[in-house]
Amino acid sequence: MTSFARALVAGVSVIALTAPAFAQSTLPQADDSYFLAAQAELAAKEAVQPNTGKAKNVIMFIVDGLSVPTITAARILEGQNAGVDGESHSLAFEKLLPHTALVKTYTHDSQVADSAPTATAITSGVKSLNGTIGVDQTAVLEDCSSQAGSTTKSIFEQAEEAGLATGIISTARITHATPAAAYAHTVARDWENDTQLPEDAVGTCADIAAQLVDWSFGDGFEVAFGGGRANFMLDSQADPEDATRMGARKDRDLIADWQAKHNDGTYVWNQEGFDALGADTTRVLGLFNGSHMQYEADREKDAGGEPSIAQMTTKAIEILEKNDTGYVLMVEGGRVDHAHHAGNAARALTDTIAVSEAVQAAYDAVNPEETLILVTADHSHVFTIAGYPVRGNPILGIAGTADDGKAYTTLGYMNGPGAASYDEANPPTRPEGADADAPLTIRADLKDVDTTDIDFLQQALIPMGSESHAGDDVTIFAQGPQGYLFDGVIEQNMIYHVMAKALELNAAK
């Protein structure tokens, strides 16, 4: 066999075998700032050694809808907001979590996923059906009779059985798809309270809120922070934050039931109650909004408002670390997804930055050598960064002028509420003074519009009341025990298996 053939078999670059060594200091670009920065980055990567030990703790950040363009745009926005170069800036999790992989997000029945089966893949290790939570591929959507024989066991349920503490945090309703995958088993993600159950499911399939309170694994969750208060309250009970809004349930006051079940627990519903949680707190249920919590850009920060995702993460770790065996914590940035659905990039990026701050807070609060920290997404969005804006151009700003003579933004959507529809009141036009051969379009000219306004909706191609998910791969970032296993392109359900291996749970042995 020739040396060339041996190199191919070994997977070694032939060029690397035959090319003469050279001193990089002789290169004309050796003093270039980019060259030197890359050399420093290479040295940092060479210093990273795989952590093959056992994890005492696992913290999974699931950022709903965190596409790669969302990461890029958020890093640029955070940098620009801080007055530094946005393009070369990095979010906290990009700097702190060195191991990365691309994650395939398809489900058992769909090219483009929703949050229910993707969260199930992450927490239970199997791919399942859109619209279902905590069940496998044998379940039938919205068929209660198919549920009993198809349920999975989540890593949270396994952790409780192993004596670990557990916690869930979400800026969405705590009964929403992603946090529900920690504890619920249902063939319909919309069955969040008893009034949403179909007649044939009543008495057989429990609603999601009831499953949280009745969760029987170990001694139950030590921490649950999020929104969704209405799903735990009777429809005869006024919301403590807004007396004009009532609860959603007809059967049980689940907050009272939780308090009766956990005499060591504390229930809180606003910033004041959250701030009052002391060093003696060992269990807490915090429901900070009737529905989803506020976007970070709108969050009220007074006593009657809501804690930030970073504050909730730090407090959860303080409580969970009281268990000497360890803990498993999920932190969901749920409203990134909602802002994208609304076609509102500014809020999506602001909530992404808030999650990054929570990752930094978590990293600072733990021993990273014994804590596996992950940041990933359940699915992507049809969100794009396009055009040819110059370096340093505001990421929420105008990228240039299109062939129709109208200004367009760097950020946009393939579909969503930002699209214009043709009708008699909105005929195709070209701007005044545009070339006669410029194409007629129905979209607005943005040259005099403040596209950086928090309420601005980016333009979209296809008109839809709610922008849709996308089917492209998402990213996972990791550090800590077994984090090096996140490498290359992986199936989404592999995330569970790495976490279980790190914790040395029985099912992973």
- How far from 331 is each of 68, 121, 509, CA to CA, in Å? 19, 16, 26
Q: In 3D, which of 353, 453, 352 has the Cα closest to residue 394?
A: 453
DSSP-assigned letter for residue 468 = P
d(CA 50, CA 62): 23
| CA-closest candidate to residue 68, choices 470, 441, 455 | 470
Q: For 230, what's the count of Cα atoms within 13 Å in the CB-facing half-sphere?
A: 20
Say if CB 305 and CB 299 are below 8 A apart: yes
φ, ψ dihedrals at 151, nearest 5°? -75, 145
Whether 115 is catalytic: yes
Taking each continuous run of H as one helix and of E as one strand, the counts in the chain are 15, 17
Longest dimension (CA), the chain: 83
CA distances from 481 to 122, 249, 319, 501, 506 (A): 17, 43, 22, 9, 17
Q: What is the C-alpha to C-alpha distance for residues 48 and 394, in angstroms, rounded to an integer?
A: 34
CA distance 221 to 213: 9
CB-facing half-sphere around the CA of 458: CA atoms within 13 A: 33
Among the listed residues 67, 88, 110, 115, the single catalytic one is: 115
Q: Return the active site residues.
A: 115
